[in-house]
A = this chain, B = another copy of it.
Amino acid sequence: MTLHEQMTELARRARAAAQALTRLAAEEKNRCLLAMADRIEAEADRIRRANEEDLAEGEKAGLSKALLDRLLLNEKRIAGMARGLREVAALPDPVGRLIEERTRPNGLRLRKTAVPIGVIVIIYESRPNVTADAAGLCFKAGNATILRGGKEAIRSNRVLTDILVEAGKSASPRFPEGAVQLVSTVDRAAIPALLSLTDCVDLCIPRGGEGLIRAVTECSRVPVIKHYKGVCMMYIDGKADREMGVRLAVNAKCQRPGVCNAIETLLVDRALAAEFLPQAAAALWERGVELRADAEALAILRAAAERLPGAKLVPAREQDWSNEYLDLILNVKTVGGVDEAIAHINRYGSHHSDAIVTRDEAAAQKFLNEVDSAAVYWNASTRFTDGGEFGMGAEIGISTDKIGARGPMGLEELTAYKWLCFGEGQERA
């Protein structure tokens, strides 16, 4: 079989499974999810053995310590996968949700109803726990999943996929074999082959670095919802509560710097800069943050930095404005008000999460309206852009796209809709 034939067979099996999944009731899906959780715990040793082989191969191949850590499935992470599946089982079923209902003058009743998307391809990198997390969410929303993890995690991913399918089948005789499948070849050509099958694949969600996402977008013929980088920003307006501004900037940068909803740039209204910047810088330096500042901010902060041993202050370069540091580094820029802040964010940001701190309602409304991002905050930290924090229970990631889903993608965002039309013999005149 050629690679293209293999992918076609995989995708056809997924399409058939998606069709079969429309016949599973909510309770039946939940029973499968709970069985998956139980079996992951029961088979922890089998998972760990496969994972150890992956880790040994990874070490031989010279993977970095950070990558090896992401690859690792220890007891805590295995328990985390099981817990995640149980949490998904406990969430309300997103399928069948009535989105809108209208009755037309001719009596035709239209019900816009949430339905599964169908077949979803998930492409991800080294973390094998994504296998269970993504498959569980997609399954709960009635979708068949084709998983394509990193080649360094292939043994762990194979065992996890086998366990999910075995558990599903043990819990329901109607669990379709093709509901969760792994692309088991590591051949990179599998991705374009799979993403050319527009008849059988409804959506691709790539999760990972910029290179991966770009490559997927370039080759895909099926719709892609990108979970792109988070270049998030916070703007401290001239009418901000300064104490709140410092607190939120510190939270948005430092509470967990390695995630996509942490900020990378702090914009400060010139009117407030001389008072605000030294105060904010002191709090940020205390937490070890390096500041990369534009000329004006640099001039304001230089004296303070020289007084404070260890304070990191360097000039910002053009490429810094669009950088996702995922680290204790923060750009600082002075702007001439809310319009300039909006323009900077729309130009250099990644349309993920951005915040304004102000007491001025007009400025806030302008910012909320004109910043072109998935989540726009007024007087709150950007760190809340997250399925759990948004009350979705769980998420498959944060979409930086606008079509299909934007922001955290939970169960509802893993559904499409269709129009169910109820008549009593209506014909068109």
Q: What residues of chain B lie closer than 8 Å to A370, measured between beta carbons?
A: 19, 22-23
Q: What residues of chain B lie closer than 8 Å to A22, measured between beta carbons?
A: 369-370, 372
Copies, count: 2
Is A189 among interface residues, defined by CB-CB distance under 8 A? no
Pair B255/A223 contact, Cβ less than 8 Å: no
User: Within residues 196 to 215 of chain A, which ones have a CB less than 8 A from any CB in chain B?
Assistant: 198, 202-203
Chain B proximity of A88: nearest CB distance (Å): 20
Pair A383/B217 contact, Cβ less than 8 Å: no
**Interface segment, A39-47, A264-272, A403-411?**
A403-411
Set B104, B217, B225, B421: member contacting A221, Cβ < 8 A: B217
Chain B proximity of A289: nearest CB distance (Å): 16
Complex: A102 Cα to B390 Cα, angstroms: 8
Complex: A247 Cα to B428 Cα, angstroms: 11
Q: What residues of chain B lie closer than 8 Å to A368, measured between beta carbons?
A: 420
Pair B110/A425 contact, Cβ less than 8 Å: no
Pair B375/A421 contact, Cβ less than 8 Å: yes
Complex: A225 Cα to B401 Cα, angstroms: 14
Pair B380/A426 contact, Cβ less than 8 Å: yes
Q: What total of chain A residues lie within 8 Å of the partner, measured CB to CB?
A: 66
Set B23, B389, B391, B403: member contacting A202, Cβ < 8 A: B403
Among residues of B, the one whose C-beta sits closest to the C-beta of A346 is: B19
Complex: A247 Cα to B422 Cα, angstroms: 16
User: Within residues 214 to 231 of chain A, which ones have a CB less than 8 A from any CB in chain B?
Assistant: 217-218, 221, 223-225
Q: What residues of chain B lie closer than 8 Å to A217, measured between beta carbons?
A: 198, 221
Complex: A256 Cα to B406 Cα, angstroms: 39
Pair A417/B406 contact, Cβ less than 8 Å: yes
Against B, the Cβ 8 Å flags (1 = close, 0 = not) of A251-287 are 1100110000000000000000000000000000000
Complex: A418 Cα to B346 Cα, angstroms: 14
Against B, the Cβ 8 Å flags (1 = close, 0 = not) of A390-420 are 1100000000011110110000000011111
Pair B418/A380 contact, Cβ less than 8 Å: no
Set B202, B346, B376, B390: member contacting A420, Cβ < 8 A: B376
Set B241, B248, B373: member contacting A418, Cβ < 8 A: B373
Set B379, B401, B424, B425: member contacting A425, Cβ < 8 A: B379
Among residues of B, the one whose C-beta sits closest to the C-beta of A224 is: B223
Complex: A401 Cα to B224 Cα, angstroms: 13
Pair B402/A247 contact, Cβ less than 8 Å: no
> 12 A-B contacts, Cβ less than 8 Å apart?
A19-B370, A104-B390, A117-B403, A203-B403, A225-B403, A255-B427, A375-B418, A377-B423, A390-B419, A404-B404, A406-B416, A407-B419
Pair B377/A202 contact, Cβ less than 8 Å: no
Is A51 among interface residues, defined by CB-CB distance under 8 A? no
Complex: A295 Cα to B156 Cα, angstroms: 52
Among residues of B, the one whose C-beta sits closest to the C-beta of A20 is: B370
Pair B424/A379 contact, Cβ less than 8 Å: yes
Pair B422/A223 contact, Cβ less than 8 Å: no
Against B, the Cβ 8 Å flags (1 = close, 0 = not) of A125-158 are 0000000000000000000000000000000000
Chain B proximity of A344: nearest CB distance (Å): 13
Pair A255/B203 contact, Cβ less than 8 Å: no
Q: What residues of chain B lie closer than 8 Å to A203, measured between beta carbons?
A: 402-403
Q: A19-B372, A401-B223 are in contact. Are A421 and B118 (CB under 8 A)?
A: no
Q: A374-B418, A374-B419, A426-B384 are in contact. Are A218 and B218 (CB under 8 A)?
A: no
Q: A221-B218, A389-B428, A427-B248 are in contact. Are A421 and B117 (CB under 8 A)?
A: no
